[in-house]
Each structure stands twice: as structure tokens, then as C-alpha cells.
């Protein structure tokens, strides 16, 4: 983990006291993140394709502009939080995209969860314009976004990490440097693939144990003191009644949607296919979440 290395002076930009920060993408995650920047005293200049998403932020003091190019015209530090790869490509390289008006030396931080290959493309495109692109996907849901407790996994040139960290610590509890651009995405994808495997594995195991006559609480206790232990068994158990305060105890409402998990597993599958890496369990986990979406559980928690 990287703990605020200082390094040589990078640019006046990252040292600047609270100058304007751009924010693009004010959805369920982006909005509370932008609010946290405001709370920490940063002037925010923002945009989103849905005007209604902008209004709330405007009332809190943010400046709203028409499109990403205009954000880039005014701010030299920009955070983006978008649903998927095509949105990121559009917001960065589209006709009204950031790169149309980006200033030399700008720091562009993308917190979307996308294919690391796209992150790398964006970094190359940004570099051509003299700007720096970093990928910084998050772990943690809407709750963590609101309370500023997200974990950021950051990829990009190490010299710029301190500058990125300054902003990200306003929105998250952990900011982890992962390596070259794209490795933030890689870390997120890897974690979520293993999470999905652990969750389905825990569900199968708990179900099998119950059918074999074991009490679910006792089984969870045994697994958690043994080598079967995992986050899904000890922190987010999928069987109703085993734990309190998790979605399984509340009809699988809230939490992390099955559809989102399927999307992340799709990314894992695509990167694995592209790198010719065998991921049999990750692949089957993807298919299982995909089948659940097809059967109408897309909006339920992934557990």
C-alpha cells in the first residue's frame, strides 16, 4: 500500500489550495461523492446528462455546465463516475468530451468500473493532450459513498498519486496505489470476481449443509473457524437469520445488485478472454449471475 509518498515537486496544480474541481457523472454514486468534495471546501463544477441530477448539487453550491468539455475548460482536476466503458469513451473522447478542451497538466481521475484496456486507451489519449489520466474505481456502495468511506484502487503514474490522493481522501477511507494505469480496474475486477465465487460458494455450501441436517448458524460458525471461512460466510452471510444487518435478513433488498455483479463479472470475463487466462469458476459465477438476471432477480442483492 502506498502511504502518501512525497517525491519531487510535480506541478503547481496538485499543490494548489482548494481550486475548482470538475465532476462528471452525478448518479447514485457520483452525487454523494461530489457532495463530499463540496463538504471538504472544494468548489465543484459539474455536469450530467440528466438535468435533474444536477439540480440538487447546484443548490448545494456547485456550478453546473453543459458538457464535459466545458468542465475541462475551467477545472484542471476532474473526477468522472460513469456507468460503463462506452460512457467513459464518450465523456473523454466524444465531440463534447473532456479532451476537446483539457488544459495541459490536468489530472483526470476516472472512478468508473470499466475494462482496464479502455482505461489504458484513455490514458494514452490524455497523454497526447498533455494531461494525466488515472483509473480509481471504488469498492463500497451508495452508503459508503455518502459517508465518505469508499475504498479507491488507483492505477496510473506513481508521481501523480499524491495529487489524486488529496481529492480521493475526501470521498473515501482507503486510497490504495495499485501500479500502472489500469491496475486499479484490475484490482477491483479481481476482488469482485473472487467475491462472487465466494458468495455463490457460500450459498451452495450453506444450502447443502442445511439439507444434510445442520443448523445454519452452527454451520456458519464452523465454517468461520475453519478453512472454508470467507467474507461471504463471516461478514455477509447469504442465509436469512444467520446474521443481522445484511441484505439476506431483509429479503435481499439494498446492498450490491445482482445486475451490477453480473456487469463486473462480465468485465472479468472479457479481460480474462483477452489475456487468455483460464477462469473456470469466475466464468461459471458470471453465468450464474447472468441466469439470475434473466430470471428477474436483477435488482436484488447479489447474496
Q: Which of residues 159-198 bind a copy of itself (CB under 8 A)?
A: 174, 176, 178-180, 182-183, 186-187, 189-195, 197-198
Q: Give 110's strand partners.
A: 80, 135
116 binds a copy of itself (CB under 8 A): yes
For residue 145, state whether it binds a copy of itself (rule: CB under 8 A). Answer: no
Residue from the set 3, 12, 17, 226 that interacts with a copy of itself by CB under 8 A: 226
Q: Alpha-carbon distance 24 to 98, whole Å?
A: 10
Would you say 22 or 255 has its CB closer to a copy of itself? 255
Q: Which residues inside 266-295 make contact with a copy of itself, applying CB under 8 A?
A: 266, 268-288, 290-291, 293-295
| Closest to a copy of itself by CB, 58 or 235 | 235
**Is the Cβ of residue 40 or residue 180 nearer to a copy of itself in the bound state?**
180
CB 80, CB 104: distance < 8 Å: no
Binding of a copy of itself by 218 (CB under 8 A): yes
Grid cell 457523472 is found at 25
Among 41, 61, 213, 296, binds a copy of itself (CB under 8 A): 213
How far is Cα 68 from Cα 49, in angstroms, rounded to an integer?
10
Are the beta carbons of 259 and 298 closer than 8 angstroms? Answer: yes
What are the residue ranges of helices labelled H in 6-115? 12-15, 30-39, 51-59, 68-74, 85-93, 98-101
Q: Is 142 in the site for a copy of itself (CB under 8 A)?
A: no
Amino acid at each position: 500500500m502506498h502511504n502518501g509518498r512525497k517525491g519531487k515537486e510535480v506541478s503547481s496544480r496538485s499543490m494548489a489550495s482548494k481550486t475548482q474541481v470538475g465532476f462528471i457523472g452525478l448518479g447514485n454514486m457520483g452525487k454523494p461523492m461530489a457532495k463530499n468534495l463540496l463538504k471538504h471546501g472544494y468548489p465543484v463544477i459539474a455536469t450530467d446528462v440528466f438535468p435533474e441530477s444536477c439540480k440538487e448539487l447546484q443548490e448545494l453550491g456547485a456550478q453546473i455546465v453543459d458538457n464535459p468539455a466545458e468542465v475541462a475548460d475551467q477545472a484542471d482536476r476532474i473526477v468522472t463516475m460513469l456507468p460503463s466503458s462506452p460512457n467513459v469513451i464518450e465523456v473523454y473522447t466524444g465531440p463534447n468530451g473532456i479532451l476537446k478542451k483539457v488544459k495541459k497538466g490536468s489530472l483526470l481521475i476516472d472512478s468508473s468500473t470499466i475494462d482496464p484496456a479502455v482505461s489504458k486507451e484513455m490514458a494514452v489519449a490524455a497523454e497526447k493532450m498533455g494531461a494525466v489520466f488515472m483509473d480509481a474505481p471504488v469498492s463500497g456502495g451508495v452508503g459508503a459513498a455518502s459517508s465518505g468511506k469508499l475504498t479507491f484502487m488507483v492505477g496510473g503514474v506513481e508521481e501523480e498519486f499524491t495529487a489524486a490522493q488529496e481529492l480521493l481522501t475526501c470521498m473515501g477511507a482507503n486510497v490504495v496505489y495499485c501500479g500502472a494505469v489500469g491496475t486499479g480496474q484490475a484490482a477491483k475486477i479481481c476482488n469482485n470476481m473472487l467475491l462472487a465465487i465466494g458468495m455463490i460458494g457460500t450459498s451452495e455450501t450453506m444450502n447443502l449443509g442445511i439439507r444434510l441436517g445442520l443448523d445454519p448458524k452452527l454451520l456458519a460458525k464452523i465454517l468461520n473457524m475453519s478453512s472454508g471461512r470467507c467474507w461471504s460466510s463471516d461478514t455477509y452471510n447469504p442465509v436469512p437469520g444467520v446474521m443481522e444487518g445484511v441484505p439476506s435478513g431483509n429479503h435481499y433488498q439494498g446492498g450490491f445488485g445482482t445486475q451490477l455483479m453480473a456487469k463486473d463479472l462480465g468485465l472479468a470475463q472479457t479481460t480474462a478472454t483477452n489475456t487468455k487466462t483460464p477462469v473456470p469458476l469466475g466464468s461459471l459465477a458470471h453465468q450464474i449471475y447472468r441466469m439470475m438476471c434473466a430470471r428477474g432477480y436483477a435488482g436484488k442483492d447479489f447474496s
